[in-house]
Amino acid sequence: MQRLTGLDASFLYFETSSQLLHVCALMTLDPSTVPGGYSFPKLRAALEERTENMPVFRRKLHNPPFNMHHPVWVEDDEFDIEHHVHHVAVPPPGGREELSELCAHIAAQPMSRRRPLWEFHVIEGAADGSLVIVAKMHHAGIDGVSGASLMAYLASTEPDAPLPILPEHQRKNPGAPGPIDIVSHGIRGIASRPVVAARLLREIAAPVPRFVMKAVRKEGMRIPFTAPRTSFNATITGRRSVAYCQAELDDVKKVKNAFGLTVNDVILAVCTGALRTYLADRHELPRTPLLATIPVSVRGRSQRDDQGSNKVSSIFSSLPTHLQDPADRLRYLADANRKAKEHHAMVPADLLQDVAQFASFGTLGLAVRAYSSLRLAERHPVIHNLVMSNVPGPPMPLYLLGSRITGMFPFGPVFHGAGLNITAISREGRIDFGIIAAANLVPDAWPIADAIPHALAELVRCTDTAPGAH
C-alpha cells in the first residue's frame, strides 16, 4: 500500500480555495528544434507516451470511508491525457504581461483530486515565437528536488533522444486497497503512534532544548514571530500575480568568488536587494531585517529516504533589507546563513516528517479555515515575511519533448500571512527566478522581478573592492 507520509498529506490538509498548495513552472521553449516540426498533437502524443511509462503521472489519491490514516496513491484506471494537457493561446500582443496574467490565472485554479494531480497548459501565440508550457503538480506528490528530477525524466539532452524505459515492475501504481486492508492498516497506524511518539521524544530530548537555547541567545537562526510587517503579510485570497526574470550564472559566480562565499549566499543577497528596492519604492521599508522561510532538502541525511515524496526541512533566514550597501548585505547574509545552517544541523533531519505523521485533516483542515476566516494573520506578530527557495538544475541544454528549454521559471505556494514566494533555479549558465504572490497583497509582481537584475549588477560592481578581487 503506497500511503502518503504525514508531511505529504499535510499539503492536502492545509489547502483551501485561497491557499493552494501546488507548485508551478512556466517554461519557455524553442519549437524550431523539434525534429520534423512542432505541432500540438505531436507534443501531446509524446507526453502521453512518457506518462504511460512513469507511474507518478498516473497515480491519484484514494481516501475511502473509514480510512483512519492518510490517503494512499493508487493507479487511475480511467487515466485520460485529455484531462491533463490543455491547449490555449495567450491574448495578443503576447508579451510578458499577457503571459504572466495567463500563468497567474492557471496557478490560481485548484486541481481535481479525483484525477492525478498534475496539468500541462501548452500556450501558443507568444510575441517572440516561443512555445510556452505552464506545468502544475501538487506539493503532496513532489518537492523541489523530486520536481526537478521529474522534469529531467521528461526532458533530454538531445531533441531526438530515445524514450527512457523503466523496468516493468516500476511502471504501475498499486491498485485500490480493499476496505479490510484500509481499516486494518489504519488501526495499525493509530496503534503504533505511541511507539512513534516515544521514539520521537527520545530523538529530540537532547538536541531540541539546545536548539531553543541557541535561538533564545540569538546565536543561530532567527525564530518565527520576529518578522516586521509588510504589505504582503496578511490574509490572502485565491487570486495570484506572477513575474519572472533571468540572470547570468557567471555574474553570480563572479560575486561568489570575489567574496569567498556560496552561490546560495549571492542569490539570497540579490533577492534581498530587489525586495529592498520594492519596499523602499512603496515607502514601507522596515527598519529591521525581513525573515524568510527557506525550504532545504534533507535527501541524503534522511533515515527514511524510501518514504514519501517530500524530503524537506526549513531554515529561517534574516534578509537585511535595512542595509543600504549591497556588499554589507551580502556579508550579513553569509554570516547569518552560516549560523543558521549550523543551528539547523542540531536537530534530526527527519524531525519535520516525523512530527507531520500525527497530522490529520480534521485538525489541520479546520484550523486553517478558522485561521483564514478570522483573519488571524493580521492579529498576531508576523511569523515570517515570505518563502524563498533555490533549486539546483541541470548545467547542460535540455529539450522538452523535442523543444529546447530557454527558460524555466518556478512558482511555489503562498500562505496566509506570507503572500509572496521567490524561487530560483540554476540552469544552463543562467539563474531563472519565479515570483508569485497573492494578488490582493501584491497586485503587480513585475517591480520585484525587474529589480533582480539591478540588484545583481550592484553586487558585481562591488567585486572590484571585495577582499578576493584580483
Q: Which residue has the cell 524537506?
A: 312
Say how far apart CA 444 and CA 457 lie, in whole Å.
Answer: 23
pLDDT of the residue at 349: 65
pLDDT tens per residue, range 137-175: 999 988 766 676 677 678 888 888 877 676 666 678 888
Spell out, as residue ranges, where the chain has pLDDT lower than 50: none
pLDDT tens per residue, range 330-385: 999 999 998 888 887 777 666 666 676 776 766 788 889 999 999 999 999 999 99
Cβ-count burial 233-245 (b if 16+ within 10 Å, e if not): bbbbebbbbbbbb
Q: Cβ of 108: how many Cβ atoms within 10 Å?
A: 19
Residues 6+ apart with CB under 8 A from 272: 290, 319, 320, 321, 329, 333, 455
Which domains does the chain carry? 2-165+172-180 (3.30.559.10), 213-395+410-465 (3.30.559.30)
Please pick, among 62, 139, 344, 384, the residue that the annotation labels catalytic.
139
pLDDT of the residue at 18: 96
Strand-pairing partners, residue 132, are 28, 123
Query: In this structure, are strands 59-62 and 22-30 parallel, antiparallel, or unpaired?
Result: unpaired
Q: Is 139 a catalytic residue?
A: yes
Secondary structure (3-state) at 390:
strand
Say how far apart CA 270 and CA 390 lie, in whole Å.
Answer: 12
pLDDT of the residue at 305: 57
Strand-pairing partners, residue 389, are 423
pLDDT of the residue at 170: 66
